[in-house]
Structure 1
Amino acid sequence: MHKEDILKALEAIVPSNIIKVDEPLKRYTYTETGGQADYYLSPTKYEHVQAIVKFANHHEIPITYLGNGSNIIIREGGIRGIVISLLSLDHIEVSDNVIITGSGAAIIDVSRKARDYALTGLEFACGIPGSIGGAVFMNAGAYGGEVKDCIDYALCVNEQGDLIQLTNQELELDYRNSIVQKQHLVVLEASFSLTPGNQHEIQTKMDDLTERRETKQPLEYPSCGSVFQRPPGHFAGKLIQDSELQGHRIGGVEVSTKHAGFMVNVDNGTATDYEDLIHYVQQVVKDKFEIDLHPEVRIIGEYPSKQ
């Protein structure tokens, strides 16, 4: 299909005001990098997502899903096909000890809502800068807690556009992994079963975790969060620090001097700078310690065209 035909077809199945053409994706990523999306859609209803997926599947148009862009690097060449932003699916509802939330809600906001209702179990998420959809996708965790500990189910859409509900066990949540990744699903909604607690104690724990995060992490610069997964028996940040790589810069991106597990955009860095620095760090750590570092951050999109 031609670009104009795709646009007309999309306008026939979803409201035109949720469609943007040739939208710069750097507006939506924490690294402040990324080229254009051919079509950037922000559905507000589950049936919108289903309709888009069914249309794209029928016409073999690739789909990419974005949450709040906190753990992703998008290359300067942008993304072909359709990008679906889930940020408008951000409702948060509390009933007894259960919180049901749309995938676009920030997990920080969900943890605060749990605190407001004196529900314990999501304190670990008070500093994770991601959406619920992204958190389920990668079984996000911090400070000894993870999504796996408290999620009850996730409502997803498969590649055919069908709704499926998966229980905690069916989600196959593992270290930074899930069935959502393996089967190219998209999360629309998640339910968390929590435990009644003491609001003051919950707040105290969240304050402590927030202080630890602000003290140790380079929040003053754009970044993609923790870059590498934890190697078995080691810590990625410690390996990078011991390789004397803190402060090493490629282009406008450098290994943080505050926390070696982070790479920060200090001077108009590009996705290419990030990717080159990631590869460099991997090679140095491999040469020094014979340990492979695997990215936790997702790197997607097209490479920039050669001029």
Structure 2
Amino acid sequence: TTPTFALPPTGAPPAEVDPKTGRRKSAKAEAAAVQERIAPRKRVTDDEDTLDEAAPETNPGAMSASQDDEDAPRFIKRELPRPRGRFTRVEAQRLSFFELTRAEGKATLEAAIEATEHRYSLLRTLEHRYNGPRGELTQVDMENVLRQHGIMETLEAQEKRNLQTAYASQRGAAGRVAWALGLSPSELQRLTHALLLEEEVEALRERFRNEVLATSHLTHRLDLLGKDKYLADLGIQKRFTESLRKELERLVKDSMSDATDLHSLANVVGRKHGAPAELVTRAFERLGLTEKLRKQLSSQTVNPSH
């Protein structure tokens, strides 16, 4: 027997049925539905989203979804401890102040005194390791415990040696002394007063003032002219510059006839008195003698008979 197959219907396709009314859609309605399906969808803007959020009662589905989000479990990030790796810096726990007041604390304080230059650096060392009796360790607390152990005199003797050495090596400049010892200017002043070294320090500074003003070597004086901060620290900058200006004017007067310009004048003065010509030229500029000397040299060129 020959198999037979059902043929597709030759008529028009059945019209779609409206699910709401149960009636067949007309050709016009079907075309509108197809057009609606294939038309591009309108993009929702941020303003419309804001309006939807402001009026949640108009969208019960969104309201229920937001309630579901609120009911969903939330995962809160735990506060984990800080890492303690090989290179992590962790502050050591401070010890009690009363550890320093015991007999064993004397050896600790003596070792700390040997490793420091003055009481301020000693305090900075101890305050990282020990608490004070009422919170932070203060200088008064530290000095009291040093006197209790009878080693305050040891610290003061070491401070005096360090101050005397620093003032001698820095040639009386208080600013350089403070920098060398790691002190602020106010700390240096308080330390000098506490050690009763004010008269000794002032006498030492006066000695260096007299040395600077009394030096007769021209090269040394020209070199000191460039050290404004040092001269100002000693309080003799004005006196020194006035003295050097008068000396240079005298030397230039004796050498003016052998020079034709400022450069040759500096060479002549330097050669006669054993000073570098560069320092002489710099002194002319710093002391404000350049224009005056140029006028004198130009007038000498115009009137060679004079």
TM-score (norm 2): 0.20
Query: Higher relative CO (CA 8 A, sep ≥ 6), structure 1 or 2?
Result: 1
Between Structure 1 and Structure 2, which shows a larger proportion of strand residues?
1
Structure with bigger helix share is 2
Larger radius of gyration: 2
Normalised by the size of structure 1, how large is the TM-score?
Answer: 0.20
